[in-house]
Amino acid sequence: MAACLLLGSAVPTAFAEETKQEAASEKKEAASKVQLRQAANAIGAYVKWDQSTKEATVTYGDRVWIVRSGSVESTISGQPLKLTAAPRVEQGTLVVPWNDLCEALHIQAKWVNGKVEAEMSDWKTRASQFVMQFAAAADRPEMVEQIQSSLTPALKKAGHVYPIGMFAKQITTMFGQPTQLIQVTQTENDVHRNAAVSFKTDKGSVLSVVLRYAKDGLVDDMYFNFVPQGQYQAPSYDDKDAYREESIVIGEGEFKLPGTLTVPASGDGNYPVLVLVHGSGANDRDESIGSSKMFRDLSVGLAKQGIATIRYEKRTREYSYQSTAVPRFTVKEETIDDALHAVAWAAQDKRLNKQQIFVLGHSQGGMLVPRILAQDTAKAIRGAVVAAGPSGPLEDLMLTQFEGQLARAKESKLPEQAIAQLEAQVAAWKQSLQIIKNKEYTVDNYPANLPIGTPSWWFDFRDYYGGDIAKTQQVPMFLIQGDNDVQVGKEHLDGWKKALSARTNVAYKLYPKLNHVFVPYDKPSTGEEYKLPGNVPLDVITDMAKWIKTQS
């Protein structure tokens, strides 16, 4: 009886264990399958369903995966891929094996609690998923919390000042919600690993963003491209045997910047060096504008004439989001501090002559040359070049630019809608000028939510005349200007001449046909020609080299 009881008690125990194993197996099998649309959308893959054929086409970058309900046969970019199990429609949606999806789309990730968890090494999936989560944060506050674990402490801190959800709303309002990944390309510099991500959106536009990853793999910043890249062509004087380039880091701490040192290939060192300071906007180290790269042209051209150069990413490009959260942000943080960091770097490099450090400022950077010299307490700068630098207040120049655009539109008889938009732009800026010029407001005292972008920046820089500072300075200067500049007219060179008339160590040069980026153009410049490939003429570089050498 005891044996029977023992046997009898053992049977249900074994049966229960077997049932438990079967349940676990079924659970594992269920967990290994995912809803195709849910999983694909999470990483920015686009799913198109054909009800007549029961086929789904999944597009993820350059990979196109076609699967059919009930069949283990599929194709990936035209090549056969046999699945481990047949997809099937469950509750109105196609369910596919997770591992097959990973293989087809070439991702390394796990499916955990209904979410994609990409491996750290899978930059493409991590980047595309982050963009999808960021965009979703525009309307879903919980997504802001979800992406916090992907951010560096510095970016989290910036998000407290300029909320990520608000930023996402602005971006998606402009471009639309991302719907299909186009591509992810990866580059690395001495500061960040960068993933350039582009998406198609539901507005039919292209959303392009560069995610900047810190060394620990967390997102440290985001840079959104609002202007498409042009088709740059190297100048005829670009002799790769005449120079060497190496990556450098400008500055230290939270806003250190990646840069490039270009030195002549010939000689034993002790080279004069020119630090290149950007104009307005979030410029890269080459100052890429349309299809031109003014700073790159200058670097390779001057190297051939025995002069080294330093160029670097602008702070508002490398730290685009973090810069918006800097309290009382001014041109000092935007431009001046980093220019002086570059000068300090030049002074410590043994290959460079620390007695012959020069600075070139282009456009807004040219305006700021006198302030850079004023804050050069080490007196390290031997001379300065101002290239197309406005001689008067930037806010007034912007009104001139807007009015010029409107006048050209009317002259060209553009559609009424286009003219109306330009008229609205002029009217809006005139209203902004009333705020900017209001002397009751200062860098340290202004009401919240003023509709002028970064108020502290404007109140620090308004009514600025560089010549008023430069007229009492002693550092030699060379001012150059194109006479076909639609942004900063040649009359600004006259403004500098008038302000500096008492000085004897200032040289000037006006170049025929050159536009704002110092590229020749036969027709009157409108800015549209920036799209055309062009280079800084060799005579500009030769004049600059001669002037630098005469200061030694």
Please check whether residue 91 lies inside any domain of the structure: yes
Interatomic CA distance for residues 264 and 302, integer angstroms: 8
Confirm whether 404 is domain-assigned.
yes
Does 441 map to a domain?
A: no
Mean pLDDT of 43-56: 97
Residues 190 and 83 in one domain: no
The rounded distance, in Å, linking the Cα atoms of 417 and 403 is 16
As for how many domains the chain has, the answer is 4
367: CATH:
3.40.50.1820
Q: Is residue 412 part of a domain?
A: yes
Does residue 348 share a domain with residue 265? yes
The tokens describing 51, both together, are 């009800």
pLDDT reported for residue 448: 85
Look up residue 549 and give its two tokens.
């050498």
- Collapsing DSSP states into helix, strand and coil, what is residue 354? strand
Strand partners, 360: 276, 385
Token pair in block for residue 209: 């963003």
- Residues 388, 401 within the same domain: no
Binned at pLDDT 50, 70 and 90, residue 2 comes out as: very low
Task: Kindly report the backbone phi and psi dihedral angles of residue 183, in degrees, each rounded to the nearest multiple of 5, phi listed first.
Answer: -165, 160
CA atoms of 499 and 484, how far apart (whole Å):
22
Pairwise CA distance, residues 430 & 423, whole Å: 11
Q: Which of 524, 526, 235 is nearest to 406 (CA)?
A: 526
Q: Say yes or no: 38 and 99 in one domain.
A: yes
Two tokens, residue 514: 């050159």
Q: How many Cβ atoms are within 10 Å of 447's Cβ, its own excluded?
A: 9
Range of the domain at 411: 397-435
Residues 402 and 370 reside in one and the same domain: no
**pLDDT the model gives residue 10:** 37
At 60-71, the pLDDT tens digits run 999 999 999 999
Q: Answer with the one of 417, 435, 453 that is the final residue of a domain.
A: 435
CB 211 within 8 A of CB 310: no
Asked if residue 367 lies in contact with residue 339, where contact means CB atoms within 8 angstroms, the answer is no
Stretch 502-520: mean pLDDT: 98
CATH number at residue 99: 3.30.457.10
* Residue 29: inside a domain: no
Task: Classify residue 447: in a domain, yes or no.
Answer: no
List CB contacts of 260: < 8 A, sequence separation 6 or more. Answer: 245, 246, 247, 248, 285, 299, 310, 311, 312
The pLDDT score that the predictor gives to residue 534 is: 98
pLDDT at 206 over 90: yes
pLDDT at 228: 79
- Its pTM stands at 0.90
Residue 279 maps to a domain: yes
Report the alpha-carbon distance of residue 266 to residue 244 in Å, rounded: 10
Residue range 57-86: average pLDDT?
A: 97
- pLDDT per residue over 403-462, tens digit each? 999 999 999 999 999 999 999 999 999 999 999 999 999 999 999 888 898 999 999 999
Eight-state DSSP code of residue 255? G
Nearest one of 129, 110, 118, 117 to 60, comparing CA atoms: 129
Does 410 lie in the same domain as 383? no
The average confidence (pLDDT) of the chain is 93
Residues 3-27 have pLDDT tens digits of 332 223 333 444 444 444 444 443 4
Question: Final residue of a domain: which of 224, 251, 269?
Answer: 224
Residues 103 and 137 in one domain: no
Domain co-membership, 107 together with 204: no
Q: Are the beta carbons of 276 and 544 closer than 8 angstroms?
A: no
320 and 468 fall within a common domain: yes
101-156 per-position pLDDT tens digit: 999 999 999 999 999 999 999 999 999 999 999 999 999 999 999 999 999 999 99
Identify the sign of the CA torsion 520, 496, 453, 431: negative
Structure tokens at 236: 């005829």
Task: For residue 18, tell me if it sits in a domain.
Answer: no
Query: Across-strand partners of 312?
Result: 259
126/217 same-domain check: yes
49 & 100 share domain: yes
Q: Hunting for tokens 């490398």 — which residue is that?
A: 318
pLDDT tens by residue, 389-400: 999 999 999 999
Same domain, yes or no: 104 and 126: no
Residue 80 corresponds to which tokens in the numbers above?
A: 């056969």
Residue finishing a domain among 112, 134, 163: 112
